[in-house]
């Protein structure tokens, strides 16, 4: 284990097929747990679903605790490979032209590896006045399902003072991310024979009216200076059983990304008022936005470490995607939260997913320095 480096660990993690569904994160989680336990971490498990555990690894303080824990977090599940053929084995972690290829290289097994490597470095520190905690979840890609279940077990989570989520950011230190509200708009009609449509009520027409109504939807909120504005996308539509019948059910999938100053609950109320009572609105996923003011002292410390490692002051930014921080931040006492990882944002979920191997060591260095500063007291 002493010879393990971030790239080797990333490759080893990629070898575990954790595509969700079905996920099957257990073997990958047990592999990580073995490494951390050998380094002195206490291991706890939360069995969310069969073969889909959440792993909580805690490195205890060596001295009287002077501050709350620092937490590193990542998810072990990945998205499906897609229909297109890959040019590289998606589970081999081959390196070509400075890039490691494989499903999860960017999203987010390279980030998980960076967290583990920082944890191993911090385990060598002779004095620790705060706990270091690593949380690796199952089921993030399907709406943070794993940590949503874990949040019901506060004795496993505890609280923390700082939270680092190693999602792909190209090593940019993000101060948060947008929220996500996924909805299904359900429209009911009356079926009839396709040759007598006047005897029915076509649910597709009702769905099309809803779609047109939502075109250019006004969220009635100004764009945030850092996070930007909210967005709405119509992602799916399903209706009809056969071409020669009037469809009596049509469902429209809506993906909304919310920003600072909004609540998902209020957005849903706005949509309900606009669409009318004939449209049923079902919530598929509901994750709040995450934001830490850039002026926050801990975040200023992050910027200082990043500047020292990379040689320039980073630009302040946020991610458009959601992360487990939507659940972990409120569940763990609303700590200052950093979203940063070595993965390439543009390669998440892509065919021939890769990350630039040169991103690994600087990320591990940033994570390790942040941990050292924190546990020094």
pLDDT by residue (tens digit) across 119-128? 999 999 999 9
**Phi, then psi, of 331 in degrees rounded to 5:** -70, -25
pLDDT by residue (tens digit) across 182-225? 999 999 999 999 999 999 999 999 999 999 999 989 999 999 99
Average pLDDT over residues 324-330: 97
Mean residue pLDDT of the chain comes to 96
3-class state of residue 334 by DSSP: coil
pTM of the model: 0.94
Which are the contacts of 312, defined by CB distance < 8 A and separation ≥ 6? none
pLDDT band at 368 (very low <50, low <70, confident <90, very high): very high
**Phi, then psi, of 111 in degrees rounded to 5:** -65, -40
Set out the domains of the chain in order of their start, with CATH numbers: 6-177+289-375 (3.40.630.10), 179-287 (3.30.70.360)
The separation between CA 194 and the C-alpha centre of its own chain, rounded to angstroms, equals 45
Question: Do you know the residue count of the chain?
Answer: 377
Which are the contacts of 187, defined by CB distance < 8 A and separation ≥ 6? 203, 204, 206, 207, 210, 249, 250, 251, 252, 278, 279, 280
* pLDDT of res. 28: 98
Average pLDDT over residues 55-76: 96
Separation of first and last alpha carbons in the chain:
28
3-class state of residue 264 by DSSP: helix
* pLDDT of res. 2: 55
Average pLDDT over residues 24-36: 98
Which are the contacts of 76, defined by CB distance < 8 A and separation ≥ 6? 13, 16, 18, 25, 28, 29, 55, 109, 112, 136, 137, 138
CA distances from 353 to 88, 93, 192, 318, 323 (A): 9, 10, 47, 22, 19
The DSSP call for residue 85 is P
**Which two three-digit tokens encode residue 55?**
């792993």
The separation between CA 296 and the C-alpha centre of its own chain, rounded to angstroms, equals 23
* pLDDT of res. 216: 86
* pLDDT of res. 66: 85
pLDDT band at 1 (very low <50, low <70, confident <90, very high): very low
Q: Which of 127, 178, 140, 134 is nearest to 160 (CA)?
A: 134
CA distances from 138 to 51, 56, 122, 313 (A): 10, 12, 24, 34
**Which two three-digit tokens encode residue 351?**
């065919």
**Which two three-digit tokens encode residue 72?**
């590193």
Task: Report the C-alpha gap between 343 and 341 in whole angstroms.
Answer: 6
The separation between CA 44 and the C-alpha centre of its own chain, rounded to angstroms, equals 21
With contact defined as beta carbons under 8 Å apart, do 301 and 366 qualify? no
pLDDT by residue (tens digit) across 250-295? 999 999 999 999 999 999 999 999 999 999 999 999 999 999 999 9
């Amino acid at each position: 284990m002493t010879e393990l480096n971030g790239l080797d660990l990333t490759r080893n993690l990629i070898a575990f097929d954790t595509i969700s569904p079905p996920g099957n994160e257990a073997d990958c989680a047990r592999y990580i747990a073995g490494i951390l336990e050998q380094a002195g971490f206490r291991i706890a498990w939360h069995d969310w679903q069969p073969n889909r555990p959440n792993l909580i690894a805690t490195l205890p303080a060596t001295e009287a605790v002077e501050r709350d824990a620092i937490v590193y977090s990542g998810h072990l599940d990945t998205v499906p490979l897609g229909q297109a053929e890959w040019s590289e084995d998606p589970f081999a972690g081959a390196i070509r032209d400075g890039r490691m290829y494989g499903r999860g290289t960017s999203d987010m097994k390279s980030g998980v590896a960076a967290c583990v490597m920082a944890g191993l470095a911090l385990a060598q520190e002779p004095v620790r006045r705060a706990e270091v905690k690593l949380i690796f979840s199952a089921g993030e890609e399907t709406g943070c399902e794993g940590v949503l279940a874990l949040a019901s077990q506060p004795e496993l989570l505890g609280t923390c003072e700082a939270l680092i989520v190693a999602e792909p950011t190209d090593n940019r230190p993000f101060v948060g991310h947008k929220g996500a509200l996924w909805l299904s708009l359900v429209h009911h009609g009356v079926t009839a024979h396709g040759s007598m449509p006047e005897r029915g009520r076509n649910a597709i027409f009702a769905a099309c009216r809803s779609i047109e109504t939502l075109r250019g939807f006004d969220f009635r909120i100004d764009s945030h200076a850092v996070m930007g504005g909210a967005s709405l996308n119509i992602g799916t539509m399903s209706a009809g059983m056969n071409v020669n019948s009037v469809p009596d059910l049509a469902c429209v999938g809506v993906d909304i990304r919310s920003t600072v100053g909004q609540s998902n609950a209020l957005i849903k109320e706005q949509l309900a008022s606009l669409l009318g009572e004939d449209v049923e609105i079902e919530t598929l996923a509901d994750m709040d936005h995450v934001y830490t003011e850039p002026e926050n002292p801990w975040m200023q410390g992050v910027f200082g470490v990043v500047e020292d490692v990379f040689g320039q002051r980073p630009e302040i930014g946020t991610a458009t995607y959601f992360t487990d921080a939507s659940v972990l931040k409120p569940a763990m006492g609303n700590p200052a939260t950093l979203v940063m990882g070595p993965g390439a944002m543009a390669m998440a979920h892509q065919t021939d997913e890769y990350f630039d191997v040169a991103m690994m060591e600087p990320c591990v260095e940033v994570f390790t320095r942040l941990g050292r500063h924190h546990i020094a007291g």
